Amino acid sequence: MHSRITGVKPSVDVLKQMAEAIANGNASAAAEMAMQHDAFYDVTLKNLATPWTNRDGDNFAPLNDYTATVIGMVRDDVDFREILSGDIIYTGASGLDLPSYSNSNNNHYEALERSDYPLQVALERRAQSAVTGLPSEATAGVMTTRGGAKAFFYAGTNRAMFRFTLMNHLCRDLEQVHDTSRPPDRIRQDVSRSPGGDSRVFQNNCVGCHSGMDPMAQAFAYYNFEYDVENDPTGENGQLDYNRSGDSDPVTGTRVQAKNHINSATFPYGYVIPDDKWDNYWREGPNMHLGWSGELPGSGYGAKSMGRELANSEAFAQCQVTKVFEQVCLRSPEDSTDRNRVASMTNSFTGNGYQLKQVYADAAVYCAGE
């Protein structure tokens, strides 16, 4: 159990305490003992979160504010839904010999990783708005961290942020939510209505993703990742840019970032984004089975409210539990017994404050001895 949670063997004393807890019928307490080891944070949680922070799913990417925030939230038993909407960020703790947090580089976190300070004690929770200067209403958990922005607001049209958030936190890529029955009225000008001269490709393929994605990704209309394309092509010194109330983009004449209007000549009659209002067209049709919350309206303005929409879905909870199950049990759920256990763990996760440490404990107890 200890090895599955941390990747290392326990000390003799910890092993005795865990064995005693299990003998007394409290296997969950034994799992919690294992989670007190530094390796749970420095290795297990870092390996869980790091692939979420980059387009390649690279497990060896440097520590950054996205990764640190996930680790800190798990440590502090923060409601994990806040990962997509909270005014929250984790930095190195005050008093550590580290460079200051910067909006334009990752030096703070790379120094923290080199320092070998255990992340269990080295991370400090702070308000993201106070650290980065974003308005609180514009913060959306890891989506608006510098690490998230560098990976998914980089170039393009910001659809990448939606797609990778869907992949990493609802365990669905666009092909798995493909639905050609939704209205195409919000598909932007940059999408050809007759790719290769054949309109059937648009109707039977492109519509399936864009009709649902484009109305949701509109939540990111005011965000961009700015960097020096010529001298810093990978954006190592770039930073998140957000158009506040009163700002006006010189190209669009509104708060909407110019990147949202690129390739407008592809289909001039397509949708032109006027603001950051999003709507979830997937609340009807086959994707209603992602389990959208009936307590939310299914529409709103900006990334924060859209993040809440995603994080309150049943698919979000199932995704987190499945990822932990696979990491701890070293396999995917294989049969009805496994699937029933995942369902039970998901119910426990949603019913007890969305605390991910409890999911680790439940998975470790279930897979102990395998």
> Looking at the domain assignment, is residue 22 inside a domain?
no
> Looking at the domain assignment, is residue 238 inside a domain?
yes
The answer to whether residues 191 and 134 belong to one domain is: no
Rounded to whole angstroms, the Cα distance separating 221 from 256 reads 5
User: pLDDT-derived band of residue 368, with 50, 70 and 90 as boundaries?
Assistant: confident
What tokens does 188 get? Answer: 């932007």
- Please report the DSSP string for 120-155 in residue order: HHHEEEE-HHHHH---GGG-BTBTTSHHHHHHHSBS
Residue 125 has pLDDT above 80, yes or no: yes
The answer to whether residues 278 and 227 belong to one domain is: yes
The answer to whether residues 111 and 186 belong to one domain is: no
Would you say 137 and 306 are in contact if contact means Cβ atoms under 8 Å apart? Answer: no
Residue-wise over 196-226: b if at least 16 C-beta within 10 A, else e? eeeeeebeeebbbbbbbbbbbbbbbbbbbbe
Rounded to whole angstroms, the Cα distance separating 214 from 198 reads 22
The answer to whether residues 143 and 42 belong to one domain is: yes
Domain of 143 in residue numbering reads as 37-152
The answer to whether residues 175 and 143 belong to one domain is: no
The answer to whether residues 197 and 257 belong to one domain is: yes
* Domain stops at, among 112, 129, 152: 152
The answer to whether residues 219 and 145 belong to one domain is: no
Give the pLDDT confidence of 240-289 residue by residue, as tens digits.
999 999 999 999 999 999 999 999 999 999 999 999 999 999 999 999 99
- Please report the DSSP string for 255-281 in residue order: SS-GGGGTTTTSSTTSB---SSEEE-G
Give the pLDDT confidence of 261-274 residue by residue, as tens digits.
999 999 999 999 99
Helix (H) or strand (E) holding 240: strand 239-242
The answer to whether residues 234 and 187 belong to one domain is: yes
User: pLDDT-derived band of residue 116, with 50, 70 and 90 as boundaries?
Assistant: confident
Rounded to whole angstroms, the Cα distance separating 145 from 23 reads 44
User: What is the distance of C-alpha 191 from the center of its chain?
Assistant: 26
Q: Can you give the pLDDT at residue 370?
A: 74
Q: What share of the chain in percent tops pLDDT 90? A: 99
Rounded to whole angstroms, the Cα distance separating 292 from 283 reads 7
> Looking at the domain assignment, is residue 302 inside a domain?
no
Domains: count for the chain: 2
Average pLDDT, the chain: 97
* Domain stops at, among 272, 288, 304: 288
> Looking at the domain assignment, is residue 339 inside a domain?
no
Q: Can you give the pLDDT at residue 338?
A: 96
The answer to whether residues 181 and 89 belong to one domain is: no
Residue-wise over 286-307: b if at least 16 C-beta within 10 A, else e? ebeebebeeeeeebbbbbbbbb
Q: Name the residue among 129, 117, 96, 100 with its Cα closest to residue 38.
A: 117
Give the pLDDT confidence of 36-46 residue by residue, as tens digits.
999 999 999 99
Residue with tokens 């640190």: 68
> Looking at the domain assignment, is residue 125 inside a domain?
yes
> Looking at the domain assignment, is residue 319 inside a domain?
no
Q: Can you give the pLDDT at residue 249?
A: 98
The answer to whether residues 196 and 90 belong to one domain is: no
The answer to whether residues 173 and 94 belong to one domain is: no
* Domain stops at, among 288, 317, 335: 288
Give the pLDDT confidence of 81-92 residue by residue, as tens digits.
999 999 999 999
> Looking at the domain assignment, is residue 368 inside a domain?
no
Q: Can you give the pLDDT at residue 197?
A: 95
Q: What share of the chain in percent tops pLDDT 70? A: 100
Give the pLDDT confidence of 298-330 residue by residue, as tens digits.
999 999 999 999 999 999 999 999 999 999 999
Give the pLDDT confidence of 132-160 residue by residue, as tens digits.
999 999 999 999 999 999 999 999 999 99
What tokens does 336 get? Answer: 């009805």
- Please report the DSSP string for 58-118 in residue order: -TTPPP-HHHHHHHHHHHTT--GGGGGT-S-EEEEPTTSS-PPP-TT--HHHHHHHHHT--
The answer to whether residues 78 and 186 belong to one domain is: no
Residue 369 has pLDDT above 80, yes or no: no
Residue 62 has pLDDT above 90, yes or no: yes
> Looking at the domain assignment, is residue 86 inside a domain?
yes
